[in-house]
Amino acid sequence: MTFWNFFFTNKNTKIIHKKNKNSEKQQIFIENLIKNDKNINIYYSTNKNINLNDLEKLCDAVGWVKRPLKKVKIAIENSFLIISIFYYNENKKNLIGFARATSDESFNATIWDVVIDPQFQGKGLGKALMKETIKELRYHDISTITLFADPEVIKFYKRIGFITDPDGVKGMFWYPI
Amino acid sequence: MTFWNFFFTNKNTKIIHKKNKNSEKQQIFIENLIKNDKNINIYYSTNKNINLNDLEKLCDAVGWVKRPLKKVKIAIENSFLIISIFYYNENKKNLIGFARATSDESFNATIWDVVIDPQFQGKGLGKALMKETIKELRYHDISTITLFADPEVIKFYKRIGFITDPDGVKGMFWYPI
């Protein structure tokens, strides 16, 4: 069964959601992302088979610390959900956004590694990516969706509906010394 | 290969760690937990095959909201790590502690559902459970270990080495409305 779902992230961005319930691969076409004469083809996929070098380049572009590709591969394989955003230009597929979530597939999920290519930031893509991530997790009836936000993106997540320290609950970290 | 590891959580608790590297089931025997004339047999296991009714009773004992067993089963199956603590009394096995963690099995893990039977609290078991959880995750080279702590247990986790809001990073939650 295929169904379509239309929603708007902002006045410049129209997202057309094409979902095949019986297929692992789900695509969402975003049209008119940049308001100009031509349409730009952007879509996103939950397929885990992602080019790790492309992901590394994307993470590099936002200044993240390099991580061993072997470990990134394992992390992706063992994530419950992967969402990648691609931009098609002259038939070339470019990775411009990414997010993933670990989960017990029942109660809780934690979102990690949310990244949008700096050239495509400020266009509502981050918001669209998070909305889609939440939607996918809610589709699996996961009710507690968590993440750890750097200070500069706390406001962004608040606008999407995330709250900090509900009832005094604190995110805590343990690192090896 | 079997090896033994001895450590102390407090002066009343001696933990003997028996680990079989080639077996999924790992046991840690805790002796002399309660300082009296007889030894009390307490051990813990990472076996996922846990009696869900026993777990429900344990969670009930600390006043947690009842959860559908079917969802608990899925959550356990999809957790990366489960640690259960059992107490043997007259050849009967009693579940007295539990913790689990979701993980990408590479970079990050999040610990959920940490619980110790109220009758066995204040004896260093919670600390032993967390130390063992960290040890298991570190064994898999996971370096970012996270959790969400209720206000009344923040101090407990701080004593183990967890920190709140490192560099202003905030734990955030999204709940369905």
Local confidence band at B33 (pLDDT 50, 70, 90 cut-offs) = very low
Binned at pLDDT 50, 70 and 90, residue A115 comes out as very high
Q: Mind giving me the DSSP string for chain A?
A: -EEEEEEEEETTEEEEEEEETTSS--EEEEES-S-SSS--EEEEE--S---HHHHHHHHHHTTPPP--HHHHHHHHHT-SEEEEEEEEETTEEEEEEEEEEEE-SSSEEEEEEEEE-GGGTTSSHHHHHHHHHHHHHHHTT--EEEEEE-GGGHHHHHHHT-EESGGG-EEEEE---
Find the mean pLDDT for residues B28-42.
50
Q: Is the complex ipTM more than 0.90?
A: no
At residue B93 the predicted structure's pLDDT band, cuts being 50, 70 and 90, is confident
Greater pLDDT, B105 or A27: B105
- Provide the CA B109 distance to its chain's centre, in angstroms: 14
Q: Does A52 lie at the interface with B, CB-CB under 8 angstroms?
A: no
Candidates B129, B172, B175, B177, partner chain A, best to mutate (most A CBs within 10 A): B172
Mean pLDDT of A9-25: 42
Cβ pair A74:B172 closer than 8 A: no
Among residues of chain B, what percentage have pLDDT more than 90? Answer: 68
Contact B101, B79 (CB under 8 A): yes
> According to the model, what pLDDT value does residue B130 have?
96
Please confirm, yes or no, whether A88 is among the known catalytic residues. Answer: no
User: What's the pTM?
Assistant: 0.82
Position B13 pLDDT exceeds 70: no
Residue B126 has pLDDT above 70, yes or no: yes
Pairwise CB contact (< 8 Å): B146 & A108: no
Query: Does B12 score more than 70 pLDDT?
Result: no
**CB distance A165–B157 less than 8 Å?**
no
Cα of B85 to nearest chain A Cα, Å: 21
Q: How far off is chain B from A50, nearest CA to CA, in Å? A: 16
| Lowest-pLDDT choice from A61-75, A132-146, B40-54 | B40-54
The whole-angstrom distance between residue B42's C-alpha and the CA centroid of its chain comes to 13
Judge whether residue B162 has pLDDT over 70: yes
pLDDT average, residue stretch B160-165 = 96
Q: For residue B147, give the chain A residue with the closest CA.
A: A172
Please check the confidence at residue A102 and state whether its pLDDT lies above 90: yes
pLDDT at position B16, please?
A: 46
The pLDDT value given to residue A31? 40
> C-alpha distances in angstroms, A57 versus A93, B53, B100?
14, 48, 34
Q: Does the beta-carbon distance from A169 to B174 stay under 8 Å?
A: no
* Mean per-residue pLDDT, A65-78: 97
Q: What is the mean pLDDT of residues B9-38?
A: 42
What is the CB-side half-sphere exposure of residue A155 using CA atoms within 13 A?
Answer: 1
Q: Which residues contact A129 (CB under 8 A, 6 or more apart)?
A: A44, A83, A85, A97, A99, A114, A116
Q: How far is CA B46 from CA A17, B59, B85, B97, in A?
A: 41, 18, 9, 12
pLDDT in tens, B42-59: 888 999 999 999 999 999
Residues of A in contact with B147 (CB under 8 A): 171-172
First to last CA, chain B: 51
Contact between A145 and B175 using a beta-carbon 8 Å cutoff = yes
The pLDDT of residue B114 is above 60: yes
Would you kindly state where each structural domain of chain B is located, as residue ranges?
14-142
**Chain A interface includes B163 (CB < 8 A):** yes
Q: Of 3.30.465.10, 1.10.3860.10, 3.40.50.1820, 3.40.630.30, which CATH number belongs to B14-142?
A: 3.40.630.30
A-chain residues near B149 (CB < 8 A): 169-170, 172
Q: What is the mean pLDDT of chain B?
A: 82
Among positive and negative, which fits the CA dihedral B59, B63, B69, B71?
Answer: negative
pLDDT at A42: 82
- How close is the nearest chain A Cα to the Cα of B144, in Å? 6
Say which range, A77-81, A108-112, B7-11, B69-73, has the weakest mean pLDDT: B7-11
User: Looking at residues A150-159, what average pLDDT do you find?
Assistant: 97
Task: Determine contact: B7 vs chain A, CB below 8 A.
Answer: no
| Mean pLDDT computed over every residue of chain A | 82
**Which distant-in-sequence residues (6+ apart) come within 8 Å of B108 by Cβ?**
A75, A102, A110, A112, B142, B144, B145, B146
Q: Write down the pLDDT at residue B104.
A: 98
A20-46 pLDDT, tens per residue? 443 333 344 444 344 343 556 788 899
AA identity, residue A65:
V
Closest chain B C-alpha to A173 CA, distance in angstroms: 5
**Would you call A149 and B157 a contact, using CB atoms and an 8 Å cutoff?**
no
